[in-house]
Amino acid sequence: MAEYDYKSGKKRIEEILDNTLEVIEKKKVPKGDKFTFTNSYYSWVTGIFIDIRDSSTLFSKEDKELVSKMIRSFTSEIIEILRDDDNLREIGIRGDCVYAIFTTPLKDDIYEIVDKSIYINTFLEMLNKLLSDRGLDTIRVGIGISTDKELVIKAGRKGVGINNNVWIGDAVTRASNLSSLGDKDGYKPIVMSANTYDNIIKIMKKNNFSENVDSWFNEKYKSDFGRFYDANIIKKVFNNWIDNGMDDD
């Protein structure tokens, strides 16, 4: 390993600490080319994390080809559901979890992310039917969603091409933590923060005026999460197609 030039490191740190950094408050988080090492943005964002339950048991199976096929099936279609959105700002895979972060300046934008979570929840029904039809184990997931204002900065090492956006605030961290609750210990698969729920519930009722939408959600409380909600909502047309044999025609 090459020697670390700590004297040059000190100069770089001093340059960062002593230079002016502009914090820009905007309705939308801009796309990546607007970020520099001398600015940051403060905007409303919504994070969604889809976390496999008991993944250590799945990953430890001896048939590694089978495990690979299951994980690839899981990740590819969830990414397909999440990626087609002008408000998408980051998407990726962290171990056994697929995640995405969206800029959501409007309540309708937040609702779109919740709607994606319902598609994902229904997709799991399809995936598990295809797995069980082949005599394979099924997959359970927790889907965590959270909305908040976040400080977004470009972090890394200037001049060497190694950098990424860092999301500082409750939305991304809480979405990740809420996903760890879903479909476990009596919680339903979709778990959302109070802020997300408060912003979408009127839209949900308007779009489903003939349904008892209040019955879809359960209010919960934990000292380390505060108020949050869980649900197990599915897309009816999609689910009926699954139940009716998933005919390609």
Q: How far apart are CA 98 and CA 56, in angstroms?
A: 16
Q: What is the pLDDT of residue 4?
A: 59
- Three-class DSSP labels, 126-184: HHHHHHHHCCCCCCCEEEEEEEEEEEEEEEEECCCCEEEEEEECHHHHHHHHHHCCCCC
All structural domains of the chain, each given as residue ranges with its CATH number in brackets, are 46-145+170-243 (3.30.70.1230)
Q: How far apart are CA 189 and CA 182, in angstroms?
A: 4
- The pairing of beta strand 39-52 with beta strand 217-222: unpaired
Token pair for 248: 């390609």
Task: Note the pLDDT tens digit of each residue in 53-78.
Answer: 877 676 666 677 777 778 888 888 89
The residues near 6 (Cβ < 8 Å, ≥ 6 apart) are none
Query: Higher pLDDT residue, 149 or 26?
Result: 149
Task: Note the pLDDT tens digit of each residue in 120-173.
Answer: 999 999 888 888 888 878 889 999 999 999 888 877 666 666 667 778 889 999
pTM of the model as a whole = 0.87
> Does residue 51 surpass a pLDDT of 70?
yes
Nearest to 153 by CA among 17, 48, 47, 29: 29
pLDDT above 70: percentage of residues in the chain: 84
Residue type, 216: W
Residue labelled with tokens 């380390």:
224
